Amino acid sequence: MPKLDPDRLFPSEPRRRDIARDLFAAIEGRPILSPHGHCDPSWFSENAAFPDPAQLFVVPDHYIFRMLVSQGGGLADLGISRRDGGPVETDPRAIWRRFAAHYYLFRGTPTRLWIDHALEHVFGVDDPLGPDTADAIYDHVAACLERPEFRPRALFDRFNIELLATTDSALDTLDHHDRIGDAGLKGRVIPTYRPDAALDPEIEGFAENIAELGRITDCDTASWAGYLEAHRRRRAYFRKRGATATDHGHPSARTEAFDTATAERLFHTCLSGQATAEQADAFRGQMLTEMARMSVEDGMTMQLHVGSFRNHSGPVMRDFGRDKGFDIPIRTEFVHALKPMLDEVGQEPGLEIILFTLDETTFSRELAPLAGAYPALRLGPPWWFFDSPEGIMRYRQLTGETAGIYNTAGFNDDTRAFCSIPARHDVSRRVDCSWLAGLVADGRIGLDEAHEMAGELTTDLVKKAYKI
Amino acid sequence: MPKLDPDRLFPSEPRRRDIARDLFAAIEGRPILSPHGHCDPSWFSENAAFPDPAQLFVVPDHYIFRMLVSQGGGLADLGISRRDGGPVETDPRAIWRRFAAHYYLFRGTPTRLWIDHALEHVFGVDDPLGPDTADAIYDHVAACLERPEFRPRALFDRFNIELLATTDSALDTLDHHDRIGDAGLKGRVIPTYRPDAALDPEIEGFAENIAELGRITDCDTASWAGYLEAHRRRRAYFRKRGATATDHGHPSARTEAFDTATAERLFHTCLSGQATAEQADAFRGQMLTEMARMSVEDGMTMQLHVGSFRNHSGPVMRDFGRDKGFDIPIRTEFVHALKPMLDEVGQEPGLEIILFTLDETTFSRELAPLAGAYPALRLGPPWWFFDSPEGIMRYRQLTGETAGIYNTAGFNDDTRAFCSIPARHDVSRRVDCSWLAGLVADGRIGLDEAHEMAGELTTDLVKKAYKI
Amino acid sequence: MPKLDPDRLFPSEPRRRDIARDLFAAIEGRPILSPHGHCDPSWFSENAAFPDPAQLFVVPDHYIFRMLVSQGGGLADLGISRRDGGPVETDPRAIWRRFAAHYYLFRGTPTRLWIDHALEHVFGVDDPLGPDTADAIYDHVAACLERPEFRPRALFDRFNIELLATTDSALDTLDHHDRIGDAGLKGRVIPTYRPDAALDPEIEGFAENIAELGRITDCDTASWAGYLEAHRRRRAYFRKRGATATDHGHPSARTEAFDTATAERLFHTCLSGQATAEQADAFRGQMLTEMARMSVEDGMTMQLHVGSFRNHSGPVMRDFGRDKGFDIPIRTEFVHALKPMLDEVGQEPGLEIILFTLDETTFSRELAPLAGAYPALRLGPPWWFFDSPEGIMRYRQLTGETAGIYNTAGFNDDTRAFCSIPARHDVSRRVDCSWLAGLVADGRIGLDEAHEMAGELTTDLVKKAYKI
pLDDT category of residue B181 using cuts at 50, 70 and 90: confident
CB distance B374–C112 less than 8 Å? no
- A236 contacts chain B (CB < 8 A): no
pLDDT category of residue B349 using cuts at 50, 70 and 90: confident
Residue C32 to residues A40, C422, C425: CA-CA distances in angstroms? 52, 8, 7
pLDDT in tens, A172-212: 999 999 999 888 999 999 999 999 999 999 999 999 999 99
pLDDT at residue B182, as a whole number: 81
Q: Pick the residue from chain A with its C-alpha nearest to B314.
A: A343
ipTM over 0.90: yes
Query: Nearest CA to C128 among C260, C4, C313, C256?
Result: C4
Q: Residue B16: list chain C partners with CB under 8 A.
A: 12
Q: Pick the residue from chain A with its C-alpha nearest to B4.
A: A443
Helix (H) or strand (E) holding A354: strand A353-356
In sequence order, what are the beta bridge partners of B329? B308
pLDDT in tens, B371-422: 999 999 999 999 999 999 999 999 999 999 999 999 999 999 999 999 999 9
Q: Which domains does chain C have, with CATH numbers?
A: 14-49+151-466 (3.20.20.140), 50-150 (1.10.2020.10)
Query: Nearest CA to A215 among A202, A200, A233?
Result: A233
pLDDT at residue B4, as a whole number: 87
- C4 contacts chain B (CB < 8 A): yes
> Subunits touching A (CB < 8 Å, at least 3 pairs)?
B, C
- Substitution target from A323, A390, A393, A427 for chain C, most C beta carbons within 10 A: A390
Q: Residue A109: list chain C partners with CB under 8 A.
A: 400-402, 404
- Substitution target from A109, A320, A360, A362 for chain C, most C beta carbons within 10 A: A109
CB A431 within 8 A of CB A437: no
pLDDT at residue C202, as a whole number: 96
Min Cα separation A42/chain B (Å): 38
CB distance B72–A449 less than 8 Å? no
Min Cα separation B394/chain C (Å): 10
CB distance B442–C9 less than 8 Å? yes
> Subunits touching C (CB < 8 Å, at least 3 pairs)?
A, B
CB distance B13–C12 less than 8 Å? yes
Residue C14 to residues C275, C434, C440, C441: CA-CA distances in angstroms? 61, 12, 13, 11
CB pairs under 8 A between A and C: 127
- Substitution target from A107, A115, A318, A435 for chain C, most C beta carbons within 10 A: A107
CA atoms of B40 and B416, how far apart (whole Å): 7
Q: Are strands C377-379 and C353-356 parallel, antiparallel or unpaired?
A: parallel
CB A245 within 8 A of CB A165: yes
Q: Residue A401: list chain B partners with CB under 8 A.
A: 108-110, 385, 388-391
pLDDT in tens, C235-260: 999 999 999 999 999 999 999 999 99
pLDDT category of residue C149 using cuts at 50, 70 and 90: very high
pLDDT at C1 exceeding the cut of 50:
no
Q: Which whole number is the average pLDDT over A301-317?
A: 97
Min Cα separation A25/chain C (Å): 17
Contacts of C77 (CB under 8 A, 6+ apart): C88, C89, C95, C98
Helices (H) and strands (E) in chain C, counts: 21, 11
CB distance A390–C368 less than 8 Å? no
Q: Residue B397: list chain C partners with CB under 8 A.
A: 390
- A16 contacts chain B (CB < 8 A): yes
CB distance B4–A443 less than 8 Å? yes
Q: Which whole number is the average pLDDT over A376-397?
A: 98
- B397 contacts chain C (CB < 8 A): yes
The three-class DSSP label of residue A227 is: helix
CA atoms of C112 and B450, how far apart (whole Å): 14
pLDDT at residue B174, as a whole number: 97
pLDDT category of residue B268 using cuts at 50, 70 and 90: very high
pLDDT category of residue B154 using cuts at 50, 70 and 90: very high
pLDDT category of residue C229 using cuts at 50, 70 and 90: very high
B 119-178: CB under 8 A from A:
128
pLDDT at residue C423, as a whole number: 98
CB distance C444–A113 less than 8 Å? yes
pLDDT at B95 exceeding the cut of 90:
yes
pLDDT at residue C3, as a whole number: 72
- B69 contacts chain A (CB < 8 A): yes
CB distance B343–C313 less than 8 Å? yes
pLDDT at C2 exceeding the cut of 70:
no
- C110 contacts chain B (CB < 8 A): yes
Residue C144 to residues C139, C150, C415: CA-CA distances in angstroms? 9, 6, 22
Q: How many CB atoms lie within 10 A of CB A147?
A: 10
Of A2-16, A36-50, A128-142, A276-290, which gets the smallest average pLDDT? A2-16
pLDDT category of residue A148 using cuts at 50, 70 and 90: very high
Q: Which whole number is the average pLDDT over B28-50?
A: 97
Among candidates A335, A361, A371 on the partner chain, residue whose Cβ is nearest the Cβ of B309: A335
Min Cα separation A295/chain C (Å): 31
pLDDT in tens, C255-297: 999 999 999 999 999 999 999 999 999 999 999 999 999 999 9
- B112 contacts chain A (CB < 8 A): yes
CA atoms of C123 and C120, how far apart (whole Å): 6
Min Cα separation B325/chain A (Å): 7
CB distance B112–A400 less than 8 Å? no
CB distance B369–C329 less than 8 Å? yes
Q: How many CB atoms lie within 10 A of CB A33?
A: 25
- C320 contacts chain B (CB < 8 A): no
pLDDT in tens, A249-259: 999 999 999 99
CB distance A453–B107 less than 8 Å? yes
Task: Write the secondary structure of chain B as one string of H (helix), E (strand) and C (coil).
Answer: CCCCCCCCCCCCCHHHHHHHHHHHHHHCCCCEEECCCCCCHHHHHHCCCCCCHHHHHHCCCHHHHHHHHHCCCCCHHHCCCCCCCCCCCCCHHHHHHHHHHCHHHHCCCHHHHHHHHHHHHHCCCCCCCCCCCHHHHHHHHHHHHCCHHHCHHHHHHHCCEEEEECCEECCCCCHHHHHHHHHCCCCEEECCEECHHHCCCCCCCHHHHHHHHHHHHCCCCCCHHHHHHHHHHHHHHHHHCCCCEEEEEECCCCCCCCCHHHHHHHHHHHHCCCCCHHHHHHHHHHHHHHHHHHHHHHCCEEEEEECEECCCCHHHHHHHCCCCCCCEECCCCCHHHHHHHHHHHCCCCCCCEEEEECCCHHHHHHHHHHHCCCCCEEECCCCHHHCCHHHHHHHHHHHHHHHCCCCECCCCCCCCCHHHHHHHHHHHHHHHHHHHHHHHHCCCCCHHHHHHHHHHHHHHHHHHHHCC
pLDDT at residue B355, as a whole number: 98
Min Cα separation C421/chain B (Å): 18
pLDDT in tens, A126-145: 999 999 999 999 999 999 99
Q: Residue B309: list chain A partners with CB under 8 A.
A: 335-336
CA atoms of C117 and A79, how far apart (whole Å): 52
Q: What is the DSSP letter of A339?
A: H
CA atoms lying within 13 Å on the CB side of residue A191: 28
Q: Pick the residue from chain C with its C-alpha nearest to A6.
A: C443
pLDDT in tens, B275-317: 999 999 999 999 999 999 999 999 999 999 999 999 999 999 9
The three-class DSSP label of residue C23 is: helix
pLDDT at residue B315, as a whole number: 97
pLDDT at residue A116, as a whole number: 97
- B389 contacts chain A (CB < 8 A): yes
Q: Residue B21: list chain A partners with CB under 8 A.
A: none
Min Cα separation A5/chain C (Å): 5
The three-class DSSP label of residue A248 is: strand
